[in-house]
Homo-oligomer: A and B are copies of this chain.
Amino acid sequence: MENFIWYNPTKIIFGKGKHLQTGEITAEYTKKVLLVYGGKSIKATGTYDDVTNSLKKAGVEYEELAGVKPNPRLSLVYEGIKICREKNISFLLAVGGGSVIDTCKAIAAGVCYEGDVWDFYKTLMVPEKMLPIGVVLTIPAAGSESSDGSVITKEDTQEKRDCCCDLMFPKFAILNPELCYTLPENQIRAGGADILAHIMERYFVPNENTDLSDRLCEGAMKALITNLPKVLENKKDYDSWAEIMWTGNVAHNGLLGKGRLDDWASHGIEHELSAIYDIAHGAGLAIVFPAWMRYVYKEHPQRFVQFANKVWDIDTDSMDEDTACLAGIDACESFFRSIGLSTRLSEVGIGDEKIPLMAEKACASRMLGSFKKLDSGDVDAILRSAL
């Protein structure tokens, strides 16, 4: 087992009706916030009214920044920084999913920095101070509600980059599974793929002798795979949503990867895809991950045999190693397809024109991955195999 640090100070407040307590929870930290959200959906569902009424009731003032879009943009981050400075705001409240939370994190870092916040995403600088943030989560997917990272897209250069540090952990995150009832199906599917990918990035590692992390990853994957089809069947299935929401959090709070390397090549490749084509991150991952698996599995085939057996219940004892590996990968791709996700670029209208560009950008500053180190030639081959 590799040496590691495990630290996650975010308080998760989980359960039915909990977003109605946003005001009193926030009031423990501040009396004025910048409320950051996407747009129509939280107003249509009533979440906006629930949260703002709760803030008012608790005597918490708020300014607003709406308009966060998937693959959140740097330009809106600049706008948020300006508002915080002008209105003297020292706490941000994200009401939404990963894009809203990541926008909040970027604003929170930018407000406390004299230079350009993009410096942090170019890894030229590390945030030394940040405003604290709180979260009301409306979609389980990104895991950003208790992660130390933020991913932002710079529109003019089509660069999608991340920044990670301990200061990025939210102070609290309110997770009410009832808020998931109104999610559109495409978001449910993509969110599910993102959660599964967060676990798989921590599962496909070159290390051996990491029993606990393996078992925790397999358990979390099982919980997701079991419950995701149930909410697509019945969008008001509270217990299944609760499993998905809690799994989505645990999948990305850092715990499941302790004691070994992570991979993150598939995430890296997908970031290039969604930076250029603006498809949902999870939808992109459902395409990239199976292609990545087939490209790399021979590096450590036993890990893929284990995946087939422990996650997909495939009787691998009766197969040769190669067949067992591919059976697990096929099962994973079939799962994505069974919940309605595409697993080929051509199915979402993406051709090969920009593959060389994406491969170049993905590996511009470093090799990708740890299970197998990938250069731009490898990324090119993976993307072509996914056409």
The answer to whether the Cβ of A219 comes within 8 Å of any Cβ in the partner chain is: yes
The answer to whether the Cβ of A181 comes within 8 Å of any Cβ in the partner chain is: no
Complexed CA–CA distance, A145 and B227 (Å):
34
The answer to whether the Cβ of A246 comes within 8 Å of any Cβ in the partner chain is: yes
In the complex, which of the residues B13, B247, B255, B258 contacts A212, with contact meaning CB atoms closer than 8 Å?
B247
**Beta-carbon contacts under 8 Å, A1-24 to B:** 1-16, 18
Pair A212/B246 contact, Cβ less than 8 Å? yes
The answer to whether the Cβ of A220 comes within 8 Å of any Cβ in the partner chain is: yes
Complexed CA–CA distance, A177 and B2 (Å):
11
Q: Mark A229-266, 1 if CB is under 8 A from B, else 0.
A: 00000000011001100110010000100110000000
In the complex, which of the residues B14, B18, B218, B220 contacts A258, with contact meaning CB atoms closer than 8 Å?
B14
Complexed CA–CA distance, A212 and B249 (Å):
11
Say whether, besides A211-B226, A239-B209, A12 and B7 are in contact (CB < 8 Å): yes
**Beta-carbon contacts under 8 Å, A162-214 to B:** 177, 209-212, 214
Pair A223/B211 contact, Cβ less than 8 Å? yes
The answer to whether the Cβ of A222 comes within 8 Å of any Cβ in the partner chain is: yes
The answer to whether the Cβ of A279 comes within 8 Å of any Cβ in the partner chain is: no
Pair A215/B223 contact, Cβ less than 8 Å? yes
Q: Which residue of B lies closest to A217 (CB)?
A: B219
In the complex, which of the residues B16, B222, B259 contacts A246, with contact meaning CB atoms closer than 8 Å?
B259
Question: What B residues does A10 contact at CB under 8 A?
Answer: 7
Question: What B residues does A112 contact at CB under 8 A?
Answer: none
Copies in the complex: 2
Q: Which residue of B lies closest to A7 (CB)?
A: B11
Complexed CA–CA distance, A12 and B250 (Å):
17
Complexed CA–CA distance, A6 and B220 (Å):
17
Complexed CA–CA distance, A166 and B210 (Å):
30
Question: What B residues does A331 contact at CB under 8 A?
Answer: none
The answer to whether the Cβ of A216 comes within 8 Å of any Cβ in the partner chain is: yes
Pair A222/B211 contact, Cβ less than 8 Å? yes
Complexed CA–CA distance, A175 and B15 (Å):
33
Pair A242/B1 contact, Cβ less than 8 Å? yes
Question: Which of A211, A215, A243, A246 is packed against the most chain B CB atoms within 10 Å?
Answer: A211
Pair B15/A6 contact, Cβ less than 8 Å? no
In the complex, which of the residues B11, B15, B216, B259 contacts A3, with contact meaning CB atoms closer than 8 Å?
B15
Q: Which residue of B lies closest to A216 (CB)?
A: B219
Q: Which residue of B lies closest to A222 (CB)?
A: B215
Pair B5/A14 contact, Cβ less than 8 Å? yes
Minimal beta-carbon separation of A197 from chain B (angstroms):
17
Say whether, besides A4-B14, A7-B11, A14-B5, A218 and B220 are in contact (CB < 8 Å): no
In the complex, which of the residues B4, B9, B12, B219 contacts A219, with contact meaning CB atoms closer than 8 Å?
B219
In the complex, which of the residues B16, B210, B218 contacts A215, with contact meaning CB atoms closer than 8 Å?
B218
Contacts A1-B177, A246-B259 supplied; 18 other A-B pairs, CB < 8 Å: A1-B15, A1-B242, A3-B16, A4-B12, A5-B11, A5-B13, A14-B258, A211-B222, A211-B226, A212-B219, A212-B223, A212-B246, A216-B216, A216-B219, A216-B220, A218-B219, A242-B259, A250-B255
Query: What are 7 A-B contacts defined by CB distance under 8 Å?
Result: A1-B15, A1-B239, A1-B242, A5-B14, A6-B14, A209-B239, A216-B250
Nearest 9 Cβ contacts at the A-B interface: A3-B15, A215-B219, A1-B242, A212-B223, A6-B12, A209-B239, A9-B9, A7-B11, A211-B223
